[in-house]
Amino acid sequence: MIVIEYKVKAKQHQFLAIDEAIRTTQFIRNKSIRYWMDNEKVNGADLNKNCTKLAKEFSFVKDLNSMARQSAAERAWLAISRFYSNCKKKIPGKKGYPSFKKNVRSVEYKTCGWKLDKSNKSITFKDGKGIGKVKLIGSRELNFYSDSEIKRARIVKRADGYYVQFCLSIDPRVAVNTSLEATGNAVGIDLGLIDFMTDNQGLKVPTPKFYRQGEKQLNRTNRKKSKKFKKGQKHQSNNYHKARKRYSLKHLRVSRQRKEWLKRLALRLVKSKDLIVYEDLNVKGLVKNPKLAKSISDAGWSIFRQWLDYFAYKYGKVSLAVAPHYTSQECSNCGMIVKKALSERTHVCSECKSVLDRDENAAINILRKGIYQLSTTLGRRECEASGDETSALIGEILLRASFVNE
């Protein structure tokens, strides 16, 4: 599945119609959650049937396309099924009980309710909301794909305008125009806050800290917005909404800067290496630390991992996550455990006298863990295919193939 996005150019009354469609989506989703709360043994099919009842009861619900109504119910069922799954897995802490949404920002149409023109430069929404024909602004071409491959059209509202996303049922590997040659190289990377990434050869990539750089402007804009807010007033002034939009635009700019930087770094790694091994960090747990939460969120480790896995799959490379336990404490030369505080940035082994940068030492251990994990998996598959015992030579073959560059 790949997503192609275009910016929408339309008239004011069309934007108001889009807002109305988004509010209807939010209404259906919240009503579906309420229906699940009030009734026992409710499943996804029951929520879809409830959409039909809502359409008969409310005229503004009926105006929305039937498949768009089903998409809203599917969103509700996704939250419910995630809650059930967390309960079955006995995840500690909160299980994610479904809640009512106050600020939904998208409406999703499936295979009907919309139609592209012949040039694929505009789209017409044909339900009762009155959106009509809007222009699409973007560089990507939809002419290369058939109508059957476009499964959904989603309208998304952001601080800088409205966008239409097309979800295409295509394997990303098929959409690649150029094939990447194998480099025979591998890399282990240790993620951090001062240096975003350190590899097993000691190469460091500093963290850009986009949020920290724009924090003063963000705080100043937020204060101006807060001064214009009238407490207890039902409808805020136009000046408040203008200030709120300026504040949202600055946040959007920071998030886009971070995403683009992480995307380019992940792509550069995938193009230069055949095997990328990284730490399987519990980011959700780490951000609970109040002293480091802002820096961890600003680094964007989870976004980097998502893009790394995506590009590795797309270009036929291997990205592997390994457990981060003891990667910083274990000596990469002799294997001895050398305990050190977080403030100690140099690894000094009393056994073999090796001196290394702390993060470089961790990156070497991460790469070795990844090679061992990969060789064990390959050996098990070979054993299952041939019926022989797992070969211990697979790890040596990987090492001999220049996977470790120390």
Same domain, 272 and 349: yes
DSSP label at 148?
Answer: G
Identify the top-confidence range among 32-36, 177-181, 396-400. 32-36
Q: What average pLDDT does the chain have?
A: 86
**53 lies in which domain range?**
2-168
Q: Is residue 307 part of a domain?
A: yes
Same domain, 156 and 276: no
Same domain, 304 and 157: no
Same domain, 253 and 389: yes
**Domain finish residue from 168, 198, 223:** 168
CATH number of the CATH domain containing 327: 3.30.420
Same domain, 338 and 204: yes
Over range 46-70, report the average pLDDT: 93
pLDDT at 51 over 80: yes
| C-alpha closest to that of 129 among 31, 9, 51, 15 | 15
Confidence of residue 185 (pLDDT cuts 50, 70, 90): confident
Tokens in use for 399?
Answer: 């090492």
Which residue type sits at 198? T
Same domain, 263 and 399: yes
What local confidence, expressed as pLDDT, does residue 343 receive? 81
Same domain, 358 and 263: yes
Q: Is residue 237 part of a domain?
A: no
- Neighbouring-strand partners of residue 132: 125
Report H helices in 273-357.
283-286, 293-299, 301-314
Cα 222 to Cα 95, 229, 254, distances in angstroms: 32, 11, 15
Q: Is residue 176 part of a domain?
A: no
- Reported as type and span, the H/E element at residue 77 is helix 66-89
DSSP label at 326?
Answer: T
- Reported as type and span, the H/E element at residue 382 is helix 358-386
What local confidence, expressed as pLDDT, does residue 406 receive? 42
Instruction: Report the 10 Å Cβ neighbour count for 372.
Output: 14
Q: Is residue 370 part of a domain?
A: yes
Q: Is residue 227 part of a domain?
A: no
Confidence of residue 338 (pLDDT cuts 50, 70, 90): confident
Tokens in use for 299?
Answer: 């680094």
Q: Is residue 11 part of a domain?
A: yes
Integer Cα distance of 23 and 42 in angstroms:
24
Per-residue pLDDT tens digits for 76-93: 999 999 999 999 988 888
Cα 324 to Cα 206, 317, 360, distances in angstroms: 20, 22, 14
For residue 127, how many C-alpha atoms fall within 13 Å in the half-sphere facing its CB? 25
- The number of distinct structural domains making up the chain is 2
pLDDT at 248 over 80: yes
- Neighbouring-strand partners of residue 400: none
What local confidence, expressed as pLDDT, does residue 71 receive? 93
| C-alpha closest to that of 188 among 326, 379, 378, 322 | 322
Q: Is residue 239 part of a domain?
A: no
Same domain, 131 and 201: no
Same domain, 161 and 197: no
Tokens in use for 398?
Answer: 């990987």
Please report the DSSP string for 87-108 in residue order: HHHT-SS--------S---EEE
Three-state SS string over 171-240 comes to CCCCCCCCCCCCCCCEEEEEECCCEEEEECCCCEEECCCHHHHHHHHHHHHHHHHHHCCCCCCCCCCHHH
Integer Cα distance of 312 and 307 in angstroms:
8
Integer Cα distance of 101 and 26 in angstroms:
7
pLDDT at 385 over 80: no
What local confidence, expressed as pLDDT, does residue 176 receive? 61
pTM for this entry: 0.84
What local confidence, expressed as pLDDT, does residue 139 receive? 84
pLDDT at 344 over 70: yes
Same domain, 149 and 207: no
Same domain, 267 and 326: yes
**Domain finish residue from 134, 168, 202:** 168
Q: Is residue 305 part of a domain?
A: yes
Same domain, 307 and 377: yes
**Contact status, residue 63 vs residue 24, Cβ threshold 8 Å:** yes
pLDDT at 395 over 80: no
- Neighbouring-strand partners of residue 106: 156
